[in-house]
Homo-oligomer: A and B are copies of this chain.
Amino acid sequence: MKDIDDKDAERHRAKMEKRKAVQDAEVAEKTVEKGLLIVNTGPGKGKTTAAFGLALRMLGHGRRVGVVQFIKGAWHSGEKDAFAAFGDKVVWHTMGEGFTWETQDLKRDIAAAEVAWAKARELMADPSIDLVVLDELNIALRYDYLDLDAVVAELSGRREGLHVVVTGRNAKPLLLDAADLVTEMGSVKHHFSAGVKAQQGIEF
Contacts and interface: CB of A to CB of B under 8 A. Distances in A.
A57 B34 contact: no
Nearest to A36: B191
Interface string A164-204: 00000000000010011111111111111011111111101
A197 B185 CA distance: 23
Interface residues on A, range: 35 or more
Interface stretch (A40-48, A119-127, A151-159): A40-48
Nearest to A161: B199
A28 to B, nearest CB: 10
Contact of A33 (B100, B185, B196): B196
Given A82-B60, A190-B181, A196-B30, A110 B1 contact: yes
Number of copies: 2
Interface string A79-104: 11111011000000000000011111
A194 B140 CA distance: 29
Interface in A1-21: 1-2, 4, 8-9, 12-13, 16-17, 19-20
14 contacts: A16-B100, A27-B197, A30-B195, A34-B196, A36-B199, A36-B202, A40-B46, A46-B47, A57-B82, A59-B78, A60-B79, A60-B81, A163-B202, A182-B189
6 shortest A-B CB distances, which residue pairs? Answer: A49-B53, A60-B82, A46-B50, A60-B78, A57-B78, A53-B53
Interface of A: 1-2, 4, 8-9, 12-13, 16-17, 19-20, 23, 26-27, 29-34, 36, 40-42, 44-54, 56-61, 63, 76-83, 85-86, 100-107, 109-111, 114, 130-131, 144, 163, 176, 179-192, 194-202, 204
Given A9-B105, A9-B106, A17-B101, 20 more contacts: A1-B107, A2-B144, A12-B106, A16-B100, A19-B101, A26-B192, A27-B198, A36-B202, A44-B183, A44-B184, A45-B50, A49-B50, A50-B185, A52-B57, A56-B78, A60-B78, A176-B188, A176-B189, A181-B190, A184-B186
